[in-house]
C-alpha cells in the first residue's frame, strides 16, 4: 500500500516519516547505550592491531 499522490498524502507521509524517524533513531540510541557492556568481553590493544600485518 502506498501513500496517495495528494495533498493529504503529503501530510500523511510527513507525519509518519517524521514520527518513525524519531522512533528508529531512539531505537539506535538504545542499542548504543548497551555498547559499554561490550568492554566486558575483553580489551583490544591498538598497538597490537596495528602491528598485526
Partner 1 sequence: MFEQIVSFVVSLAEQTGLAQLWWGNIFMIIVGAVLVYLALYRKYEPFLLLGIGFSCIVANVPGSDLTQPGGLFYYAYKGVELVIIPPLIFLGVGAMTDFGPMIANPSLMILGAAAHLGIFIALIGAKALGFTLAEAGAIGIIGGADGPMAIFVTMKLAPHLLPQIAVAAYSYMALMPLIQPPIMKLLTSPAERQIVMVQGRSVSRLEKICFPFVMAILVNLLLPPVAPLITMLMLGNMLREVLLVDRLASTAANDLMNVITITLTVAVGSTMEADKFLNIKTLQIIILGLIAFIGGTASGVIGAKIMNWVSGGKVNPLIGSAGIASVPIAARVSHVVGLEENPYNFLIMHAMGPNLAGVFGTAISGGIMLALIGVK
**CA 26, CA 50: separation in Å to the nearest integer?**
34
- Quick one: the chain helix, strand, coil %, rounded to 5? 75, 0, 25
Question: First and final CA of the chain: distance in angstroms?
Answer: 52
Output the smallest distance, CB 50 to partner 1, in A.
Answer: 5
Which residues between 28 and 47 bind partner 1 (CB under 8 A)?
28-33, 35-36, 38-39, 41-46
- Please give the residue ranges that form the binding site for partner 1 (CB under 8 A): 2-7, 9-11, 13-14, 16-18, 20-22, 24-26, 28-33, 35-36, 38-39, 41-46, 49-50, 52-53
Amino acid at each position: 500500500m502506498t501513500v496517495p499522490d495528494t495533498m493529504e498524502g503529503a501530510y500523511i507521509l510527513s507525519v509518519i516519516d517524521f514520527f518513525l524517524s524519531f522512533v528508529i533513531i531512539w531505537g539506535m540510541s538504545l542499542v548504543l547505550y548497551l555498547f559499554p557492556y561490550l568492554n566486558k568481553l575483553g580489551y583490544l590493544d591498538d598497538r597490537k592491531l596495528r602491528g598485526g600485518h
